C-alpha cells in the first residue's frame, strides 16, 4: 500500500511542477502544446465503456466528454452542456446538427463530423407587381425575370351530378354532360377517316371523294350539304303553290315563298294528271271552255337507313339515290332569283323576273309575237323580209 501511495504522490508532484504528462514510450519526448501524451507501439488507450443507460446516469458530463457507447457501438462525444448533454457519434449520420438558431436570414449552423461549422441562410425571393400586367421575380441570387399575365386560364370543374363545368378565359361557364351522345372522327393517316356514331357503328370514307351529306332534322325535313358546303333544307311534304287565271290570257303562279310570276296563256302546255284529290288549288279553263281542277302534287322522300333515300314523285314512281353521289341543287335566294349548283360546285344565278316573249304558230302561215308587255304582233311568214 505504501509503494502505491508513494507513486501517486510522486505523480502529483510531477503534475504540479511541469503540468505535462507523457505516458508510454519515450517519456522524455513531449510536445510543448501537450498536456498529456501517450505513445505506444503495442498498447491502446481504452476510454470508459458505457451503455446508453449508464451514460445517461453521469451526473453533469462536461461538454467534450468522451465515452465508447456499447449500445450504439460507437465513440460518443458530448457536444451539449452539463445540464443538457447531447451525445454524438461523429462517424455516423448523426453528425448533421443544427445549432445556434438566430433571427434574420441566417437560420442555423451545421456542424459536420469533423467539427467544422457552416452557417446557412433562408432563401429570399420576391415577386413584384409592375402595374402593367407583368410581374418581376427576383431569385436568391438577385437575378430578375419578368413574367407576363397574357396567358389565358381555363378551368374544368367536376360537379356532383357527373357533369362538368368548363370556364373559359372570359369567365363564361359551359355545362358539359358526359352522358350526352358521343361521336368520334378519326384520321387514319392514309387519306381516309373513320366516323363512329353514338351506337359504336363505324363508317370509313376518303377525303379524296366528293362528299355530300343528307341529315334528318327530326321534324320531317332534311338538310342537304353539297360538295362546296352549301346547305339546302328539303321538305318531303311540299308546301302549297298556286296558279291563278287572270282572265286576260295570262296566269299568275305563286310559289312556296309567295313570289309571283306572270305566265302567258300560250305557255301553259303541261298536262296535269295522276294528282291526289283533296288538294285542289285552282280551276283551269282551256280554249274550248273545259274546266279542269288543278290539285297540289304530293311527293315523298323516305330514308332507307343505309345511306340511300327513295324519292316518290307525283305519279307514284320511286327513284332511289345515294347521298354519296354527286347531287346538284337549286336554291331559292328569296329575292326572286335562284342559284343552281352543279356537280363540280359551279354556281349559276338566274332571275324569275326576267322578261318573257312568246312566238306562237297560228297554223295559217302567220305567227303571233307577244312582247314583254303583253302586246301582240302578227307576222306573215309568206312575206319577204329584208
Give the distance, in angstroms, between the CA of residue 84 and the centroid of all CA atoms in the same chain: 62
For residue 178, count other CB atoms closer than 10 A to its CB.
Answer: 9
Burial class (CB in 10 A: 0-12, 13-18, 19+), 289: exposed
Q: Identify which of 22-36, 145-159, 242-256 has the greatest average pLDDT.
A: 22-36
Closest CA to 256 of 276, 278, 240, 232: 240
DSSP 256-275: TTS-EEEEEGGG--PPP-SP
pLDDT at 258: 76
CB 283 within 8 A of CB 292: yes
DSSP 83-126: SS--EE-TTSGGG--EE---SSSEEEEEE-TT--EEEEE----E
**216-226 mean pLDDT:** 73
Backbone φ and ψ of 202, nearest 5°: -105, 140
Residue 93 Rama label (left phi>0; alpha psi -120 to 50; beta): alpha
CB 281 within 8 A of CB 296: yes
- β-pair partners for 258: none
What's the N-to-C CA distance of the chain in angstroms? 174
Residues 6+ apart with CB under 8 A from 375: none
pLDDT at 67: 94
- At 386, the pLDDT band (50, 70, 90 cuts) reads very low
DSSP 332-384: E-SSSEEEEE-TTS-EEEEETTS---EEEE-SSSEEEEE-TTS-EEEEETTS-
pLDDT of 346 above 90: no
Closest CA to 244 of 223, 230, 265: 265
pLDDT of 309 above 90: no
Which segment of 92-106, 130-144, 300-314, 345-359 scores lowest on mean pLDDT? 92-106
Read off the pTM.
0.24
**34-55 mean pLDDT:** 91
CB 129 within 8 A of CB 143: no
Which segment of 39-43, 104-108, 159-163, 214-218 scores lowest on mean pLDDT? 104-108
For residue 352, count other CB atoms closer than 10 A to its CB.
Answer: 14
pLDDT at 262: 74
Closest CA to 78 of 108, 54, 45, 56: 56
- β-pair partners for 118: 110
Length of the chain as a residue count = 386
Tell the residue number behind the cell numbers 299568275, with chain if given: 252
Rounded distance between C-alpha atoms, residue 357 and residue 340, angstroms: 23
Which segment of 55-59, 82-86, 236-240, 269-273 scores lowest on mean pLDDT? 269-273
Distances (CA, A) of 79 to 65, 71, 120: 8, 19, 20
Percent of the chain with pLDDT over 70: 51
CA angle 312, 213, 197 (to 5 degrees): 110
pLDDT tens string 65-96: 999 999 989 999 999 999 999 999 876 544 44
pLDDT at 284: 60
CA angle 162, 163, 168 (to 5 degrees): 150
Amino acid at each position: 500500500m505504501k509503494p502505491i501511495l508513494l507513486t501517486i504522490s510522486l505523480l502529483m508532484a510531477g503534475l504540479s511542477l511541469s503540468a505535462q504528462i507523457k505516458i508510454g514510450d519515450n517519456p522524455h519526448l513531449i510536445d510543448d502544446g501537450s498536456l498529456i501524451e501517450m505513445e505506444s507501439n503495442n498498447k491502446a488507450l481504452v476510454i470508459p465503456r458505457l451503455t446508453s443507460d449508464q451514460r445517461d446516469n453521469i451526473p453533469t458530463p462536461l461538454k467534450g466528454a468522451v465515452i465508447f457507447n456499447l449500445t450504439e457501438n460507437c465513440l460518443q462525444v458530448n457536444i451539449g452542456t452539463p445540464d443538457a448533454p447531447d451525445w454524438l457519434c461523429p462517424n455516423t449520420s448523426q453528425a448533421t446538427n443544427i445549432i445556434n438558431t438566430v433571427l434574420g436570414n441566417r437560420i442555423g449552423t451545421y456542424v459536420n463530423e469533423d467539427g467544422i461549422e457552416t452557417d446557412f441562410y433562408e432563401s429570399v425571393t420576391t415577386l413584384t407587381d409592375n402595374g402593367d400586367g407583368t410581374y418581376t421575380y427576383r431569385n436568391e441570387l438577385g437575378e430578375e425575370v419578368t413574367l407576363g399575365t397574357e396567358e389565358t386560364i381555363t378551368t374544368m370543374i367536376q360537379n356532383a351530378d357527373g357533369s362538368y363545368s368548363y370556364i373559359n378565359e372570359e369567365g363564361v361557364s359551359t355545362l358539359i354532360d358526359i352522358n350526352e351522345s358521343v361521336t368520334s372522327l378519326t384520321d387514319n393517316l392514309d387519306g381516309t377517316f373513320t366516323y363512329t356514331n353514338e351506337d359504336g357503328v363505324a363508317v370509313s370514307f376518303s377525303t379524296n371523294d366528293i362528299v355530300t351529306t343528307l341529315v334528318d332534322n327530326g321534324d320531317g325535313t332534311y338538310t342537304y350539304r353539297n360538295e362546296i358546303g352549301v346547305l339546302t333544307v328539303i321538305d318531303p311534304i311540299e308546301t302549297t303553290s298556286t296558279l291563278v287565271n287572270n282572265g286576260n290570257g295570262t296566269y299568275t303562279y305563286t310559289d312556296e315563298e309567295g313570289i309571283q310570276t306572270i305566265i302567258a296563256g300560250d305557255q301553259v302546255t303541261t298536262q296535269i294528271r295522276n294528282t291526289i284529290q283533296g288538294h285542289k288549288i285552282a280551276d283551269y279553263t282551256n280554249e274550248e271552255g273545259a274546266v279542269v281542277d288543278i290539285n297540289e302534287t304530293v311527293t315523298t322522300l323516305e330514308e332507307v337507313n343505309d345511306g340511300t333515300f327513295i324519292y316518290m314523285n307525283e305519279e307514284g314512281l320511286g327513284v332511289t339515290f345515294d347521298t354519296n353521289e354527286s347531287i346538284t341543287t337549286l336554291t331559292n335566294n328569296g329575292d326572286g332569283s335562284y342559284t343552281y349548283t352543279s356537280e363540280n360546285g359551279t354556281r349559276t344565278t338566274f332571275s324569275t323576273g326576267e322578261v318573257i316573249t312568246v312566238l306562237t304558230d297560228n297554223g295559217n302561215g302567220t305567227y303571233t309575237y307577244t312582247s314583254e308587255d303583253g302586246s301582240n304582233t302578227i307576222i306573215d311568214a309568206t312575206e319577204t323580209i329584208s
